[in-house]
Structures are given as C-alpha cells and as structure tokens.
Copies of this chain bind each other. A is one copy, B any other.
C-alpha cells in the first residue's frame, strides 16, 4: 500500500482523539488497587467491527460481544472493559455477569442494550462480582470525558509495564479525520491471566462491512503478527467503532488510505505490547523473504518468533545463525539450505551455502541494542514475505510466570 506519509500524522489522545467519543477509566474495586474499569462511548450511532480470539475456550464476554455484534448488524455505542478478572471458565454465572455489564452500560450510557460491547481481562476461573462491576459502570458513565482516552488505556492494564495508546490524523482529499486506539498486552504475571485487548475509534464514517474489512486487514499484519510467548488467550479481542463526526465518508476509493492509517495505529499498539512483554528487554523484528508464498513466510516467521532457542540467543546477544537455520528448516515450509541467507541486523552471517563467522562480532553488537532485526531468506526463489514482532526470552519471563505464588 503506497500512501504519502504526510497525509497520516501521529497525534495524541488515544480513543478520544477522534471527535464524538468520550471515555474514562475508574477504580471500582475488582483489583486490589488502581483503575480497573474502562468505558468508551460514541456520542453518535457508530459502525462497529471486531476480531475475536480463535481459542476454543472462550470467555463469557467474548461470547456475549459476538452475539451483540450479530444482533446489531455491526452497530454499537459503548464498549465496557474491566481488568482484574477475565470472567472466563465461570459457567452460567459468568455469562449472567457479562450480560448484566451490558445492561448497566446501556442504562447509564443511554443507549440500547444491543449497542454495547463488553470485554474482560484478568484471572481465569474466578467469578467477577456483578455488583462491584455494575456499580463501577455507573461511576464510569458519570466520569466520561472528551479527554478520557489515556485514562481508559490505563484502566485496561493488568500487569502491563506501561499503557499502550496511539492516534493519527489523516488529511484526505475529502477532509480530515482521526483514528485513535488503546491496547493492553499479555503481561501474564497474575495466575491464569492472559489477554490481549484493543479498541480503535474513528470519526470517519465507515459502513459496518467496510469497517470490518479494514479492521481484519489491519489486525492481520499488526496484532496478529506479534508474539510474546506463542500463547493465545481465552479473552483476546480488538474492537473498532466508527462514529462519523468528522463528516468524512470512507467508501471503496478511500479504503486503502483508511486501512493504512488504521494499520499504523494498530502497529504502534501491537509493538507496544511486545515491548511490554513479560521479561522483555528487546523488540525483535523477524523478516522472512524468499518463501514460496506469503503464507509460508508467515509460518516460518512465526516459528522463529516463538523459538525459545532464538529468543534466548537474542537475549544473550549471541549471533547464533545456526538456530535460525534449524528453525527455518523445521517450520514445515519449503527451505533450501544451499540457497538460504541469514542476517542479523545488516550483517549476513550465512549465505551461498557457507558461514561468515568473522562477521559475528558486528552482529553481536547489533544484538546488544534494544531493537533487533532478524532476516531469513528461505532460498526458494519465491516472492513470499512476512514480518513479525517478538521479544527476547529472559530469565525474568520464567521468574514472573513460575514464582508468582511461591
């Protein structure tokens, strides 16, 4: 997608950067301390789209939000998200609570039940107190603010080391519009906790079907192209709301620019999740080229991004190209050892069937930085390519996930 850089400029404000949205984060007592409930409301009827976890164990709010979107045919006015409890594996009581969250939000945000989407993140298998969360929703509705986006970004955090927010302003031929977003990562310190959540809003007017197409396209190369530890949660979801307050209408002609702007917001949020990954000290960009197809490239990139041997080597700044060869070879895609090429940063360490070990010190210096690039050409001569982001695997990851209760 070729889009002139000057038409898409980064701005502040998160999900309230676009006109026509209010948001807030409040502390209602689900967590022992800190913000734990976010509410995002569109002042106008809005198109809605969503991408949900593919996990077959789905939390109650995921099931409820899917049904809501289907019933509303892609319209929504409010998104309510609690942190501190995933409301997953909680049976009928959990489903009741998710529905009660929808009803309380509709009542306090003055919209129809069917116009509310709900998400939860936190501990799995623990009941979410219905009274606590619904009275939190009442407080949040009273605190909604045109500048509340950053506060909502903080309220959806669990063990994230920092909040994730991003926004852009698009200057298009037909006028200016904005896209804003917030996300939380999979900082899985709490026992049984694992969720990636994102919300993007825009004041462009986008029909539900187009918004869904744009969201799916953007998520595919951003949120779906990151991995902290290869785990996929019971609660993952990304929501999009398009309210149209800017007056700019997105049709088929404007869609490529809209998708590119949405992609930039999602990419910033997704990279933030990786940087804030558990125990992460480095952001690792994995690029795979020379694959038979983009699908093959993606599969190889994912195998590399999830390889504990690659991730520990990066952590130790060890330019261990042999591990990249071994992972590419086992990724289940076509790979030609004699024609493949492996580079760390700009330093080619294996090519033309032979190693260049004299370059190892230079590659090691690159790995000592916080932003690391790994490049594997699979050597098939094909044009398939993919990019993924991951982080290094540190002893802190193990400590965080092993020693929580000890």
The residues in A between 205 and 232 inclusive whose CB is less than 8 angstroms from any CB of B are 229-232
* CB neighbours of A337 from chain B (8 A): 56-58, 89
Chain B interface: which of A23-31, A171-179, A313-321? A313-321
B329 with A56: CB separation less than 8 A:
yes
In the complex where A192-B320, A355-B125 touch, is A55 in contact with B312 (Cβ < 8 A)? no
Tell which of B88, B364, B397 touches A398, judged by Cβ atoms closer than 8 Å: B397
A322 with B124: CB separation less than 8 A:
yes
Q: Which of A58, A315, A357 has the most CB of B within 10 A?
A: A315
Residue in B closest to A364 when the chains form the complex, CB atoms: B405
Q: List 14 A-B contacts (CB under 8 A).
A: A56-B328, A56-B335, A57-B325, A57-B330, A58-B329, A89-B350, A91-B354, A194-B323, A308-B393, A316-B402, A316-B406, A318-B402, A318-B406, A364-B405
A: interface residue count bin: 35 or more
Q: How many copies of this chain sit in the oligomeric assembly?
A: 2
A321 with B192: CB separation less than 8 A:
yes
A405 to B360 CA separation, bound complex (whole angstroms): 12
Q: How far is the CB of A128 from chain B (nearest CB, A)?
A: 14
Residue in B closest to A235 when the chains form the complex, CB atoms: B326
Tell which of B125, B317, B398 touches A312, judged by Cβ atoms closer than 8 Å: B398
A340 to B340 CA separation, bound complex (whole angstroms): 44
A315 to B398 CA separation, bound complex (whole angstroms): 9
Q: How far is the CB of A46 from chain B (nearest CB, A)?
A: 31
A89 with B322: CB separation less than 8 A:
yes
B231 with A188: CB separation less than 8 A:
no
A124 with B398: CB separation less than 8 A:
no
Closest 9 CB pairs of A and B: A192-B322, A57-B329, A316-B402, A124-B322, A312-B401, A395-B395, A232-B330, A55-B329, A312-B402
A317 to B231 CA separation, bound complex (whole angstroms): 20
Q: How far is the CB of A86 from chain B (nearest CB, A)?
A: 8
Q: Which of A234, A308, A405 has the most CB of B within 10 A?
A: A308
Query: Per-position contact with B for A178-191: 1 when CB-CB < 8 Å, else 0?
Result: 00000000001001
Q: Which of A234, A340, A393, A401 has the most CB of B within 10 A?
A: A401
Q: Does A165 contact B (CB under 8 A)?
A: no
B231 with A307: CB separation less than 8 A:
yes
B56 with A334: CB separation less than 8 A:
yes
In the complex where A89-B350, A308-B230 touch, is A406 in contact with B329 (Cβ < 8 A)? no
A378 to B333 CA separation, bound complex (whole angstroms): 29
A326 with B231: CB separation less than 8 A:
yes
In the complex where A320-B191, A402-B316 touch, is A326 in contact with B397 (Cβ < 8 A)? no
A125 with B322: CB separation less than 8 A:
yes
A89 with B402: CB separation less than 8 A:
no
In the complex where A124-B326, A397-B312 touch, is A404 in contact with B355 (Cβ < 8 A)? no
Q: Does A113 contact B (CB under 8 A)?
A: no
* CB neighbours of A112 from chain B (8 A): none
Q: Does A309 contact B (CB under 8 A)?
A: yes
B313 with A401: CB separation less than 8 A:
yes
A322 to B90 CA separation, bound complex (whole angstroms): 11
A330 with B191: CB separation less than 8 A:
no
* CB neighbours of A401 from chain B (8 A): 308-309, 312-313, 316
* CB neighbours of A306 from chain B (8 A): 230
B89 with A229: CB separation less than 8 A:
no
